[in-house]
């Protein structure tokens, strides 16, 4: 145990800035070395992280590995495999008036000292995956885990300094006061994942120093289920995506839009899907998580009477268990439709058809993800062309974010900027334009 008082944010940043200025983080060998150390941390101490994730969110070991630990290992491996190629300078054609001996190219420069602020719902993955990109790009990094996942925050604060270069990577734990103090410092990039209210606070603080930001936010991600689809498959995939981490996933299907006839058949299929996943009593399933805290439990419980309960609708505040719940006959103006649900409640809203579904989506904030279950190419193409969302999933929720070569991020209210794979290099680097003309 270290009893000395925590280093002040200004001192942390000054220390990292000195290391950055000395060129410590720039060599590709340093970057790949740090990524390998981070990988070792995840494989050697994965069990500690999994235990913390279980304490914070009731995640099963399998889920902790699949969605956080192994997920981050894959992101590291993908980056190690391709980094040299991603960082290669890219030649640009030179206009004739500069002469045949002139050459031009772009090259990726690190930004400097970057700040990563993470939320509580995937508290390891959402801190570490951006850190992978920041290190791969040659930056020094301050990582701020979420105080609402305290066990995970504590483990990360212990492990990261034990594995990574402490001159260039620091963890600052804490809540609003500590984060506010950090945000007063000058960073070269701020990468924030969380809600839009705090996103605005982050962006305002960043504006003081003209610091660029990436904002990975949330919102209500709709699902459109077309007539004539195989509803057993739809319900199975929807339930799996929705109830993972007890619905506390930024790209979880938030609500379903479908026609009244399909809705009736989908209700029955969802009941079977929930039972197939978690058994007759999900409270006893090891695969089913818990709500992060009482405040969110109470917020979610208040949404349960926004419709007719098809399945679930019950909870236990003492253990923060909230059953996987499907609500039907939901009024678009009801409380459950007014905010991002971020919990295990799936409302079904009926619309006459595709035109109304598209209008419904476009009348609201641009979502982080949009999911379409349809056999019709025309329907799929119309939704792709006529709506805007951070990502679009045909036939499978959530999975787009596991494709390392796709950018992950929002648009409008769901955020700005993106990351994963080579898009993390774009985010955490400056693409410098270079022109070279020989003197003779
Ligand atoms: P949270 O409460 O853990 O907050 C996120 C971070 O902001 C924390 O590190 C917290 O300390 C910090 N913070 C909170 N208040 C602050 C303040 N006043 N000033 C400065 N910093 C402050 O997490 P949350 O916001 O409840 O997370 C849930 C939201 O995040 C949902 O909207 C969800 O959709 C979104 N989300 C988005 C993604 C994505 O990748 N786009 C991923 C996960 C979650």
**pLDDT tens profile 272-329:** 999 999 999 999 999 999 999 999 999 999 999 999 999 999 999 999 999 999 999 9
Complex confidence, ipTM? 0.96
Residue given tokens 């304490």 in the structure block: 55
| Closest ligand 1 atom to Cα of 149 | 3
CB neighbour list of residue 66: distance below 8 Å, 6 or more residues apart: none
Q: Tell me the three-class secondary structure of the chain, residue by residue.
A: CCCCCCCCHHHHHHHHHHHHHCCCCCCHHHHHHHHHHHHHHHHHCHHHHHHHHHHHHCCCHHHHHHHHHHHHHHHHHHHHHHHHHHHCCEEECCCHHHCCCCEEEEEEEECCEEEEECCCCCCCHHHHHHHHHHHHCCCEEEEECCCCCHHHHHHHHHHHHHHCCCCCEEECCCCHHHHHHHHCCCCCEEEEECCHHHHHHHHHHHHHCCCCEEEECCCCCEEEECCCCCHHHHHHHHHHHHHHHHHCCCCCCCEEEECHHHHHHHHHHHHHHHHHHHCCCHHHCCCCCCCCCHHHHHHHHCCHHHCEEEECCCEEHHHCEECCEEEECCCCCCHHHCCCCCCCEEEEEECCCHHHHHHHHHCCCCCCEEEEECCCHHHHHHHHHHCCCCEEEECCCCHHHHCCCCCECCCHHHEECCECCHHHHHHHEEEEEEEECCCC
Per-residue model confidence (pLDDT) at position 440: 84
**Distance of CA 298 from the midpoint of ligand 1 (Å):** 18
pLDDT tens-digit map of 146-160: 999 999 999 999 999
Residue 41 CA to ligand 1 center (angstroms) comes to 25
pLDDT digits (tens, 9 = 90+) for 185-207: 999 999 999 999 999 999 999 99
Could you tell me the two tokens for 123?
């508290």
How many Å apart are CA 429 and CA 87, to the nearest integer?
Answer: 10
pLDDT band at 436 (very low <50, low <70, confident <90, very high): very high
* Mean per-residue pLDDT of the chain: 97
pTM of the model: 0.97
> Which of 56, 67, 119 to mutate to test ligand 1, by most ligand atoms within 8 A of the CB atom?
119
pLDDT at 432: 98
Residues 6+ apart with CB under 8 A from 421: 75, 78, 79, 82, 404, 405, 406
Question: Which pLDDT does position 3 carry in this prediction?
Answer: 65
Average pLDDT over residues 239-262: 98
Q: Residue whose CA is closest, atom 39 of ligand 1?
A: 216
Question: Does ligand 1 have an atom closer than 6 angstroms to the CB of 413?
Answer: no
Task: Indicate which atom in ligand 1 lies nearest the CA of residue 144.
Answer: 9
The mean pLDDT value for 218-227 works out to: 97
294 an active-site residue?
no
């Amino acid at each position: 145990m270290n009893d000395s008082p925590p280093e002040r944010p200004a001192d942390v940043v000054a220390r990292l800035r000195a290391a950055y200025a000395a060129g410590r983080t720039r060599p590709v060998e340093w970057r790949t070395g740090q990524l390998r150390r981070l990988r070792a941390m995840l494989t050697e101490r994965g069990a500690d992280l999994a235990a913390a994730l279980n304490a914070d969110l009731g995640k099963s070991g399998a889920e902790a590995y699949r969605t956080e630990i192994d997920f981050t290992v894959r992101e590291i491996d993908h980056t190690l495999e391709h980094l040299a190629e991603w960082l290669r300078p890219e030649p640009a054609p030179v206009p004739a008036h500069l002469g045949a001996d002139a050459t031009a190219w772009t090259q990726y420069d690190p930004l400097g000292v970057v700040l990563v602020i993470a939320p509580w719902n995937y508290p390891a993955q959402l801190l570490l995956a951006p850190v992978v990109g920041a290190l791969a790009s040659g930056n020094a990094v301050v990582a701020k885990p979420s105080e609402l996942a305290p066990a995970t925050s504590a483990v990360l604060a212990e492990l990261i300094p034990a594995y990574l270069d402490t001159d260039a990577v620091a963890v600052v734990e804490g809540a609003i006061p500590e984060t506010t103090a950090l945000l007063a410092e000058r960073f070269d990039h701020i990468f924030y994942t969380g809600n839009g209210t705090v996103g605005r606070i982050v962006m305002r603080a960043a504006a003081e120093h003209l610091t660029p930001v990436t904002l990975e936010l949330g919102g209500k991600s709709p699902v459109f289920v077309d007539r004539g689809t195989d509803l057993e498959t739809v319900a199975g995939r929807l339930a799996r995506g929705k109830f993972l981490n007890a619905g506390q996933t930024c790209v979880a299907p938030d609500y379903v839009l479908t026609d009244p006839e399909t809705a009736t058949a989908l209700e029955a299929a969802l009941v079977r899907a929930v039972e197939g996943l978690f058994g007759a009593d999900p409270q006893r399933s090891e695969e089913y998580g818990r709500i992060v805290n009482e405040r969110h439990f109470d917020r979610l419980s208040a949404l349960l009477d926004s419709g007719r309960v098809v399945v679930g609708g019950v909870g236990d505040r003492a253990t923060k268990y909230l059953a996987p719940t499907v609500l039907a006959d939901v009024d678009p103006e009801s409380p459950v439709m007014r905010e991002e649900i971020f919990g295990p409640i799936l409302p079904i809203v009926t619309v006459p058809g595709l035109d109304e579904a598209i209008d419904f989506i476009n009348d609201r904030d641009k979502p982080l993800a949009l999911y379409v279950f349809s056999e019709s190419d025309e329907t799929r193409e119309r939704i792709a062309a006529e709506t805007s969302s951070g990502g679009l999933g045909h036939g499978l929720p959530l999975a787009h974010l596991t494709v390392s070569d796709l950018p992950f991020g929002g648009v409008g209210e769901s955020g700005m900027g993106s990351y994963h794979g080579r898009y993390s290099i774009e985010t955490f680097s400056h693409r410098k334009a270079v022109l070279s003309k020989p003197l003779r």
